[in-house]
Amino acid sequence: MVNEELTLQVYNNITAFSSWRSYNQNVYCLRQSMNKLSSGLRINRAGDDPAGLAMSERLRAQYRNTSKAASNVENKINYLQTADAWLQKIHDMTGRMAELAVMANDGTKSQVDRDNLQKEFAQMQNEIKRITSGATAAGKFNGLYLFRGGNGVPMLDGDMVEGSTSSEYTIQRI
């Protein structure tokens, strides 16, 4: 019996391993470049351009804030247009009330005529009160009272308005 030893030899091809590692690294870099090219050279992650990404995010936030501020301004313009329309209606009524007062001072009018003029005058007064005061004032914008002072928010009890006594509004600057 012959004593044969089995030997196992492992040969390493260092050049092949090095080539394989370089190949994988090049494929990874190619994928990164293709990703950048396919997205229009956008910044896809913070590692691509951290300063540019920070600037981009700041500008994006500023754009969103400006957009919301413009929306707020549009709401205030609508608020003022609504108040202007109510004030125009009140102006028309006070003009008519002035006409009625002049007509009532005419010495040729009978008492019945003066009573009728007084009834119309009282109706105009009541309409102005309906628009500007009371728990169900008609002069409102988006649920806020336009002519009652404060911040326009009604309180649950009584005919008061919550908030300060000034009817000042401020528009936030950016």
Higher model confidence: residue 160 or residue 143?
143
Mean pLDDT of 147-164: 56
What's the rounded Cα separation, in Å, for the pair 76 and 68?
12
Overall average pLDDT of the 49-57 stretch:
79
The residue assigned the tokens 């336009």 is: 146
Mean pLDDT of 110-121: 93
**Model confidence at 162: pLDDT above 70:** no
Q: How much is the average pLDDT of 122-149?
A: 83
d(CA 139, CA 156): 18
The more confident residue out of 122 and 5 is 122
Per-residue three-class SS string for the chain: CCCCCCCCCCCCCHHHHHHHHHHHHHHHHHHHHHHHHHCCCCCCCCCCCHHHHHHHHHHHHHHHHHHHHHHHHHHHHHHHHHHHHHHHHHHHHHHHHHHHHHHHCCCCCCHHHHHHHHHHHHHHHHHHHHHHCCCCCCCEECCEECCCCCCCCECCCCCCECCCCCCCCCCCCC
pLDDT at 98 over 90: yes
Which pLDDT score, from 0 to 100, does residue 174 have?
46
pLDDT number for residue 164: 44
Q: Pick the residue with more confidence: 147 or 49?
A: 147
Q: How far is CA 125 from CA 26, 114, 134, 135, in A?
A: 86, 16, 13, 17
Question: In the structure encoding, which two tokens stand for residue 20, read together?
Answer: 């394989």
Mean pLDDT of the chain: 79
* pTM of the predicted model as reported, rounded to 2 decimal places: 0.55
* Distance separating alpha carbons of residues 5 and 157, to the nearest angstrom: 105
What is the rounded average pLDDT of the residues 113-141?
A: 88
For the segment 72-85, what is each residue's pLDDT rounded down to a tens digit?
999 999 989 999 99
